Amino acid sequence: MEITKLQLQNLITHKAGELGFVKTGFARFEPLEKESRFLKEWIDKGYDADMKWIEKGLEKRKNIRNILSSAESVISFAYNYFTPFYHQKNIPKISRYAWGKDYHKILKPKLKELCKILRDAGFSAVAYVDDGPVMDKVWAVKAGIGWIGKNTNLINTEFGSWIFLCEIITDAEFEKYDSPVEDMCGECNLCISACPTGALVEEYVIDAYKCISYQTIENRGDIPDEINLDGWIFGCDVCQEICPYNLPKFNLNTTESSFYPIVIELGEDKKPLNEIDISDLEAITEENFKVIFSDSPLKRAKYKGLMRNIKKVKSSA
């Protein structure tokens, strides 16, 4: 018996909920003309720093039919990663998303299950978890997941911005598509005022070169003298922590235990990653780094990058 558009849509939404996704939305295919022009202007201003892969994939970002020629829809998903822990005082700061296991390894298998539903129904499906030439935040907006805030993060009224985004591009068409939600930032500019380096150069625009997250993760060279890492050695959450939609009283804890802080053995002692001392991290050898952080987002900075960041933080203390 052939499955209807509505049945397929309901099946995907239900399965996504079972897999732990907190939001699922459906958007109809369209070339992202306006958004790609904005992205090109952003690149032309040098705000991409040396992340040249962004421009390299511009045509695919503009038109997902350069990824899947028969594409008709984009299904966006959001996964909550907030855990009830915080940074302790006098320790190096690591972005909340990186406290636990690498989200790619958690979410990829879940997307694989969702793709199987589509393929079993006779459709093509291509999935990405922040690892492909796709404007995931733009598609999440079109799918009604949330809005892009002035800090350039996707914000949802229930889960704030503590969410991972991913999507499936498919040639399946659905019974009904979602609509964008209202931008709720209003007159608030707390994120812009709070940014330690002034990376938020204007509302909804970030200069990656000035961003602590870029400097501590993506930058492979020296960190410029004028950039103060403000205690951060991997990523930065300042513009998220200050956001009213991320206030602790509103935060909902993730159901995925793998996103809870990993515990690191330090001789006879053990500490969760959000409480580890800078001296403990500094003492880790490159060999141990590869073992300890083999399933962690921290491996993206590599051992050399993490030690560089620690040195920079210590010199600014």
Q: Which residues carry out catalysis?
A: 130
| Structural element, H or E, at residue 16 | helix 5-18
CA distances in angstroms from 193 to 48, 80, 150, 224, 235, listed in the order given:
21, 26, 11, 22, 18
Stated as kind and residue range, the H or E segment containing 55 is: helix 53-56
> Which residue blocks in 151-218 are alpha helix, DSSP H?
190-194, 212-213
| 113: enclosing H helix or E strand | helix 103-120
Alpha-carbon distance 28 to 9, whole Å?
13
Sequence letter at residue 42? W
For 87, the 3-state DSSP assignment is coil
Q: By three-state DSSP, how is residue 196 classified? A: coil
In degrees, to the nearest 5, what angle opens at C-alpha 238 toward C-alphas 135 and 306? Answer: 85
Q: Give, to the nearest 10 degrees, the angle between helix 5-18 and helix 103-120.
A: 150
For residues 255 and 21, the answer to whether their CB atoms sit within 8 Å is no
Lookup: tokens for 215:
């400097």
CA of residue 32 relative to chain centroid, distance: 20
